[in-house]
A and B are shown apart, each in its own frame.
Chain A
Amino acid sequence: MRVAFVGKGGAGKSSLAGTFARVLAAAGEQVLVLDSDPMPGLALSLGVPSVDTGLPDDAVEEYQEGGRRRYRLRSGLTGQGAVEQYAVAGPDGVRFLQLGKARGPRWDNSRPHWAFQRVLDDLPGDDWSIVGDLPGGTRQPFMTWGRYARTYLVVVEPTPASLLSGRRLARLAASRGTPQVLAVANKMRQPDDPDRVAAGTGLDVLGAVPFDPAVAEADRQGRALLDAEPAAPAVAAVRSLVEALRSREAPS
């Protein structure tokens, strides 16, 4: 399974992606979680204690190409090697690789940016599941940061602003040639909310996650939802998402 979560800021991507990855890992799968968002967030939803564990500077080397400065993984380091060496081990056996976190005014992200892209070119094979969390908005989905995904999950709340973002993201994701783009209806409060999401985005809805105060509480505590409230309705809904996606990916 190779999945990228996208959506408007605040839609709940990180909470869902972190829980989704943990559910997969707890079921015995090898799971690599990719965080290309320069904001802290996914680590907390995943239950990884450190929020700042990007690729170190010495994993990257500078070179010149056509008189321009470029970056690549240091000589001898492959993408898969970078995953083995630098992806942090998390709960349930997940491995977690970050782009690196923005710091300070005019933070220069050139080195981690290029290094992370090179890792995306050489990810582990199909014996791994990959779960990615892309930053809110359209920039990264449009710029190939989710190109590893076989499925884009567009996380949408039942609000006009979120539906509009979801519709635009759906078009962008589809334009990347992604085989499958599906919506996840999040923070549902009314029975017809998933229908609103389907109609508003034009996407098939993989599943619906109810509005669940346990999610907000776990976020407040900075804990993974699965650790803070494993019996929460939102966790059950994510388990259903995993099963629903498995069914869709199973050969017919």
Chain B
Amino acid sequence: MLGQLERPGRAVIADFEAGLGTVLRMDGRPVDVVVVVVEPTAKSLEVGRRAADAVREGGLGRVVVTANRVRDDDDVARVRAAFPGLDPVLVPDEPAIVAAERRGEAPLDAAADSPGVRALVQLAESLLPGRG
């Protein structure tokens, strides 16, 4: 399905289920970019590292690592060490996003000016054709 959705001027964003199941079943090159979302925890970084390796080895698309809930310099160091050379996008731990999730609101509606949402806006803009 992903391979058949492409149209000029259309952006398709797919949110895959947790883990590697869907990524490992992708055939060919149905996507331009795989955004690997991790948290700065040992288990999440390990899963993310395997996902990034699988995407690269399979030639499934460009890998962009996005680290969510980043609190401090230790977190930044942990993320960068797990993905050398990949320059991860860093999304700070953001009470406003947690509060929005509890209310069932989109972070962009609830806290557009928060650092966390601004980081995501920059990520989206960087993925537009010609920007990456």
Binding site for B on A (CB under 8 A): 9-10, 14, 37-41, 44-45, 51, 101-107, 135-137, 139, 158-161, 189, 216, 219-222
Contacts and interface: CB of A to CB of B under 8 A. Distances in A.
B41 A106 contact: no
8 contacts: A9-B19, A40-B47, A105-B55, A105-B57, A107-B20, A107-B54, A159-B104, A220-B75
Nearest to A8: B18
Nearest to A9: B18
Interface residues of B, number: 30
B73 interface: no
Chain A interface main SS type: loop
Given A9-B17, A38-B20, A159-B104, A103 B40 contact: no
Interface string B69-82: 00000110010000
Nearest to B46: A40
B24 to A, nearest CB: 5
Contacts of B55: 105
Contact of A222 (B25, B42, B104): B42
B58 interface: yes
Chain B interface main SS type: helix
B24 A105 contact: yes
A102 B101 contact: no
B102 to A, nearest CB: 5
B60 A105 contact: yes
Interface of B: 17-21, 24-25, 27, 39-44, 46-47, 50, 53-55, 57-58, 60, 74-75, 78, 101-104
A161 B104 CA distance: 7
Contact of B43 (A135, A161, A219): A219
A114 to B, nearest CB: 17
B107 to A, nearest CB: 12
B24 A102 contact: yes
A40 B24 contact: no
A219 B21 contact: no
The 5 closest A-B pairs by CB, nearest first: A222-B42, A105-B58, A9-B18, A160-B104, A219-B41
Given A51-B46, A105-B55, A105-B60, A220 B20 contact: no
B57 A41 contact: no
A189 B99 CA distance: 11
A44 B19 contact: no
B42 to A, nearest CB: 3
Contacts of A45: 43
B47 A39 contact: yes
A184 B17 CA distance: 22
A216 to B, nearest CB: 7
Given A41-B43, A102-B24, A220-B41, A161 B58 contact: no
A101 B49 CA distance: 13
Contacts of A104: 24, 53-54, 57-58
Contacts of A14: 43
Nearest to A213: B71
